[in-house]
């Protein structure tokens, strides 16, 4: 056999480089499978050196630049230029440009599909591209991908994500299908968890836990897990939020979620977290809203700015308008606050009876209206609107009670309040609870106190049964009260902060009473009685009781029984009598929200007739003080005659009264606690009565002190009384010297007497209930 018989024919020289280049591509793919990216890249470049027209070499070279989008794009574009029919290159370039150039990306993906109609990944990538802005086209593309490959889990995941907002049941089924196909697909667990947050917090948390278990560095999943756990396990939720931040400090939602978890107990850290959130994501209107809410208790001017920013980003967000109302009220801008509350209610759906913020905003509006108007019909009408909107469905569903209707048996009395703590209500509740007859009445206190304090510890032993109910919702608390078989349930909060109107709407007790928060009405058909006195609601006024939804029970003396709770602060001599050149000081240390323009006009007229007098007011520094001073100036008060103190500890606040010669009351909402404090410190209070019960608080206090000469029933009388007293220092000094003893000898500080009057009222109510039950 010739040697030539065993030799193959040599390849033409023009073909060999191409063959060698293809061999290099095969070698490159093998190297890539081994994870040797640098060697893969070198082999592909060697192939291109042999044959620069190889589109496949550019296509595969692009895949080695996962971390360099610019290089990847360059090679894909060359691949397409060299081979316009290369569907995979169109697909990959479209996927690469999906976030930066979506219009071009869509055209590339559609071209890939046109070149290869059964290209499943191109359909999938097109669906993923169109998820946010063309949902119908996205769904069609994803369903086409699944028709081509029903086992492709990422497509089921994307379909579930797409359907979540409009068809949650189908979305859940799609996401569960994705997980069944690929249990390790963390993003499917993540999307399922997000979906379930709308209906099942436990299941949502379980899905999100699985997502972070599969992908521990999944920062957004940790953040959303914090949100889901916030309703279930706050401590674990906080840890999840902190983990998210540690993984990705630039994740605004993680800072936001942390802030919402710690806001009550760690407000300063929460403020810092929200400030980081809005710095990272300036359009995060909810972060601005929560920031404004936290700052309302700290820096009112900054609070207003944050809330206005939230509203600018989302003008239809009722919660931001409601919280802005709170900030404005704290600044004394009453009319603006009322307008904000009304805006919040107008923006909320008329059918929304469950939103806690809308419900709270309506309660805040009612309370603010008492500062704005002395027309009791206006207040009753607004209270009835509240009751019709929020309470009616619960009141009509309430079930009867079977309490023992023996008129003289020992009764169970339940007091419900968030303010069994250092709060003005403690000045009135402690003397009552210390003097209850426990042989005739078993006292239950239902304390919704978020932060118990030393005053809370004073309350606790005064109850026969003390229940911490802060964590119970209204339904659960209603069940507890029913199981305790309370006979008379007393609401001492009404529409003030922390109120539980929806608890009382459920009628957990057969007799329900409103008292103490403020003299007025709840407007609720679920409330049977309200306590008042002969001064707040004179019996001789025609149709007076028709101004309240409840039946009015008049205590014989006063609505309040006062205890100063601070020892060692003596009444001093009249400051204006200290020297011949001492200035006379009028004072009002009430909440600035109570200082209406009407009150400022009265004070302006007084100052005009007492030229050397000064006016001392309470207002926080900054915007609240500036706003009040501007309003005072508008009513004719020279700013140079006005000085201020900020909010103080109780002891320091009582000491401030030692600088005041004569107190000027607010109108139409009189000072109540503040006026009692002033009298106890020896400072008489000139008061102006109106039509509402709250505008007669000063009258009630003065009458119980036997000092009706301090009560004005007209503007002219108010000015006259104040000017006459300021002009008669000996008389004023004598009044000051005897006021504390007068207070201590009056019904206002006779706690045993007051407790008997309260108990007589409870017994009267129970007898009436028993009589009514006997006729059923």
In the block, which residue shows the tokens 């009407």? 598
Q: Which residues make up the CATH 3.40.50.2000 domain(s) of the chain?
A: 575-749
pLDDT of residue 43: 87
- Which backbone phi and psi does 701 adopt, to 5 degrees? -65, -50
User: For 745-774, how does the pLDDT look when each residue is reduced to its tens digit (9 = 90+)?
Assistant: 999 999 999 999 999 999 999 999 999 998
575-749 topology per CATH: Rossmann fold (3.40.50)
CB within 8 Å of 384: residues ≥ 6 apart: 523, 549
Residue 500 has pLDDT above 90, yes or no: yes
Residue 21 has pLDDT above 90, yes or no: no
Q: Read off the pTM.
A: 0.83
pLDDT of residue 3: 37
Q: What percent of the chain has pLDDT over 70?
A: 97
Residue 94 has pLDDT above 80, yes or no: yes
User: For 49-90, how does the pLDDT look when each residue is reduced to its tens digit (9 = 90+)?
Assistant: 888 998 888 888 988 888 888 998 899 999 899 999 999 999
Query: How many separate helices (H) and strands (E) can be counted in the chain?
Result: 35, 13
Mean pLDDT of the chain: 93
pLDDT of residue 73: 87
Q: What is the CATH number of domain 408-554?
A: 3.40.50.11380
Q: Which residues make up the CATH 3.40.50.11380 domain(s) of the chain?
A: 408-554
Give me the DSSP letters along 14-52: TTHHHHHHHHHHHHHHHHHHTT-HHHHHHHHHHHHHH-T
169 vs 359: CA distance, rounded Å: 30
What is the average pLDDT across 681-694? Answer: 98
pLDDT of residue 19: 66
- Which backbone phi and psi does 446 adopt, to 5 degrees? -105, 100
Least confident segment among 279-283, 288-292, 293-297, 494-498 = 293-297
Q: Which residues make up the CATH 1.25.40.10 domain(s) of the chain?
A: 16-229
User: For 293-348, how does the pLDDT look when each residue is reduced to its tens digit (9 = 90+)?
Assistant: 999 877 888 999 999 999 999 999 999 999 999 999 988 899 999 999 999 999 98
Residue from 445, 449, 521, 435 nearest 489 by CA: 445
398 vs 773: CA distance, rounded Å: 16
746 vs 193: CA distance, rounded Å: 63
Residue 5 has pLDDT above 50, yes or no: no
User: For 265-286, how does the pLDDT look when each residue is reduced to its tens digit (9 = 90+)?
Assistant: 889 999 999 999 999 999 999 9
CB 80 within 8 A of CB 93: yes
16-229 topology per CATH: 1.25.40
Least confident segment among 223-227, 348-352, 540-544 = 348-352
């Amino acid at each position: 056999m010739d040697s030539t018989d065993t030799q193959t024919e040599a390849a033409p020289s023009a073909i060999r480089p191409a063959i060698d280049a293809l061999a290099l591509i095969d070698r490159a793919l093998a190297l890539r499978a081994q994870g040797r990216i640098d060697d893969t890249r070198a082999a592909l470049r060697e192939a291109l050196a042999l044959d620069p027209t190889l589109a496949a070499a550019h296509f595969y070279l692009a895949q080695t630049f996962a971390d360099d989008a610019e290089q990847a794009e360059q090679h894909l574009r060359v691949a397409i230029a060299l081979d316009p029919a290369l569907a995979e290159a169109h697909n990959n370039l479209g996927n690469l440009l999906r976030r930066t150039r979506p219009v071009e990306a869509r055209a590339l993906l559609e071209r890939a599909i046109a070149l290869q109609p059964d290209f499943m990944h191109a359909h999938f990538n097109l669906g993923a591209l169109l998820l946010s802005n063309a949902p119908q086209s996205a769904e069609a593309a994803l369903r086409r991908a699944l028709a081509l490959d029903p086992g492709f889990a990422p497509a089921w995941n994307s379909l579930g994500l797409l359907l979540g907002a409009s068809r949650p049941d189908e979305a859940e089924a799609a996401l569960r299908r994705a997980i069944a196909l690929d249990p390790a697909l963390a993003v499917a667990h993540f999307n399922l968890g997000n979906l379930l947050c709308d209906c099942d917090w436990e299941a949502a948390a379980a899905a999100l836990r699985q997502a972070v278990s599969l992908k521990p560095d999944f920062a957004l999943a940790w953040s959303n897990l914090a949100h889901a756990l916030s309703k279930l396990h706050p401590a674990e939720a906080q840890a999840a939020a902190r983990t998210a931040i540690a993984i990705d400090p630039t994740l605004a939602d993680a800072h936001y979620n942390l802030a919402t978890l710690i806001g009550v107990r760690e407000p300063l850290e929460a403020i810092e977290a929200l400030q980081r959130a809005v710095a990272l994501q300036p359009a995060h209107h909810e972060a601005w809203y929560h920031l404004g809410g936290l700052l309302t208790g700290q820096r009112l001017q900054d609070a207003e700015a944050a809330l206005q920013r939230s509203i600018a980003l989302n003008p239809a967000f009722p919660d931001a308008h409601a919280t802005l109302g709170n900030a404005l009220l704290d600044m004394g801008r009453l009319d603006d606050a009322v307008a904000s509350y009304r805006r919040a209610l107008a923006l909320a759906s008329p059918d929304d009876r469950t939103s806690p913020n809308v419900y709270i905003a309506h309660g805040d509006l009612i309370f603010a209206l008492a500062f704005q108007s002395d027309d009791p019909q206006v207040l009753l009408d607004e209270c009835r609107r509240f009751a019709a909107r929020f309470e009616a469905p619960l009141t009509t569903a309430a079930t009867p009670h079977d309490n023992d209707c023996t008129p003289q048996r020992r009764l169970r009395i339940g007091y419900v309040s968030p303010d069994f703590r250092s709060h003005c209500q403690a000045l009135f509740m402690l003397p009552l609870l210390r003097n209850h007859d426990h042989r005739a009445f078993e006292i239950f206190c239902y304390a919704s106190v978020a932060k118990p304090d030393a005053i809370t510890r004073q309350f606790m032993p005064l109850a026969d049964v003390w229940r911490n109910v802060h964590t119970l919702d209204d339904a659960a608390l209603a069940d507890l009260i029913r199981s305790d078989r309370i006979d008379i349930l007393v609401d001492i909060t009404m529409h003030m902060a922390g109120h539980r109107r929806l608890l009382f709407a459920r009628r957990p007790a057969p007799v329900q009473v409103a008292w103490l928060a403020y003299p007025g009405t709840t407007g609720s058909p679920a409330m049977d009685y309200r306590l008042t006195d002969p001064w707040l609601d004179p019996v001789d006024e025609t149709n007076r009781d028709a101004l309240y939804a409840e039946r009015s029970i008049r205590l014989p003396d006063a609505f309040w029984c006062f205890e100063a709770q601070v020892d060692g602060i003596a009444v001093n001599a009249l400051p204006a009598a200290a020297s011949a050149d001492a200035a006379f000081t009028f004072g009002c240390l009430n909440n600035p929200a109570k200082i209406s323009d009407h009150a400022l006009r009265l004070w302006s007229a007084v100052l005009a007739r007492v030229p050397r007098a000064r006016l001392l007011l309470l207002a926080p520094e900054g915007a609240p003080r500036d706003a009040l001073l501007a309003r005072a100036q508008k009513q004719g008060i020279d700013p140079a005659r006005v000085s201020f103190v900020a909010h103080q500890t109780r002891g320091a606040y009582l000491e401030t009264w030692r600088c005041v010669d004569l107190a000027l009351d607010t109108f139409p909402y009189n000072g109540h606690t503040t006026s009692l404090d002033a009298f106890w410190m020896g400072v008489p209070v000139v008061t102006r009565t109106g039509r509402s019960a709250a505008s007669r608080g000063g009258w009630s206090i003065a009458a119980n002190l036997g000092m009706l000469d301090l009560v004005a029933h007209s503007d002219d009388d108010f000015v006259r009384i104040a000017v006459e007293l300021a002009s008669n220092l000996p008389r004023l000094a004598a009044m000051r010297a005897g006021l504390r003893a007068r207070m201590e000898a009056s019904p206002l500080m006779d706690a045993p007497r007051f407790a008997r009057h309260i108990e007589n009222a409870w017994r009267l109510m129970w007898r009436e209930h028993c009589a009514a039950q006997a006729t059923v």
